[in-house]
Structure 1
Amino acid sequence: MLSIETISLFFTASILLSLSPGPDNIFVLMQSITQGPKAGMITTLGLCTGLLVHSTAAVLGVAVIFQTSEIAFTVLKLLGAAYLIYLAWGAFRAKSTALEGANQPVSLKKLYFRGILMSITNPKLSIFFLAFLPQFVEPAAGAVSLQMLQLSVIFIVAALLVFNAIALMSGHLRDSLAKSDKAQTFLNRMAGVIFVGLALKLATTR
Structure 2
Amino acid sequence: MVDAAAAGGIALIELGMVLTPGPNMVYLTSRAIGQGRRAGLVSLAGTGVGFLCYLLMAVAGLSVVFGAVPAAFTVLKLAGAAYLVYLAWGMIRPGGRGLFSPRELDPVSDRRLFGMGLLTNLLNPKIAVMYAALLPQFVSPESGPVWLQLLQLGAVQIVIAVAVNGMIVLGAAKIAGFLFARPRVMLAQRWAAGTLLAGFAVKTALGKGPAPA
After alignment, is 117-126 or 46-55 more displaced?
A: 117-126
The number of residues matched between the two structures is 206
TM-score, length of structure 1 as denominator length: 0.85
How many angstroms does 1:63 deviate by? 0.6
Amino acid of the residue matched to residue 67 of structure 1? G
Name the counterpart of 1:174.
Answer: 176
How many angstroms does 1:32 deviate by? 1.3
Amino acid of the residue matched to residue 207 of structure 2? T
Amino acid of the residue matched to residue 173 of structure 1? I
The answer to whether residue 60 in structure 2 is matched with residue 76 in structure 1 is no
Name the counterpart of 2:155.
Answer: 153
After alignment, is 184-193 or 77-86 more displaced?
A: 184-193
Query: Where in structure 1 are there 5+ consecutive unaligned residues?
Result: none
Distance 1:38 1:130, change over 3 A: same
Amino acid of the residue matched to residue 86 of structure 2? Y
Quick check: 2:73–2:133 contact (8 Å CA) kept in 1? Answer: no
How far apart, in 2, do the equivalents of 1:190 and 1:99 lie?
18
Distance 1:124 1:5, change over 3 A: closer
Quick check: 1:63–1:144 contact (8 Å CA) kept in 2? Answer: yes
How far apart, in 2, do the equivalents of 1:86 and 1:96 lie?
13
How many angstroms does 1:44 deviate by? 0.9
How many angstroms does 1:38 deviate by? 1.4
Instruction: Give CA deviations for 1:164-202 in whole Å, capped at 9, x if unaligned.
Output: 101111232121344444343333322321221111111
Instruction: Give CA deviations for 1:77-123 in whole Å, capped at 9, x if unaligned.
Output: 22221222222222222534784586553322221111011112234
Amino acid of the residue matched to residue 147 of structure 2? S
Amino acid of the residue matched to residue 95 of structure 1? G
Distance 1:75 1:105, change over 3 A: closer
After alignment, is 176-185 or 187-196 more displaced?
A: 176-185
Amino acid of the residue matched to residue 96 of structure 2? K
Distance 1:99 1:2, change over 3 A: closer
Partner-residue secondary structure (3-state), 1:158: helix
How far apart, in 2, do the equivalents of 1:184 and 1:201 lie?
26
Name the counterpart of 2:119.
Answer: 117
Once superposed, what is the RMSD of the aligned Cα atoms?
2.5
How far apart, in 1, do the equivalents of 2:191 and 2:90 lie?
10
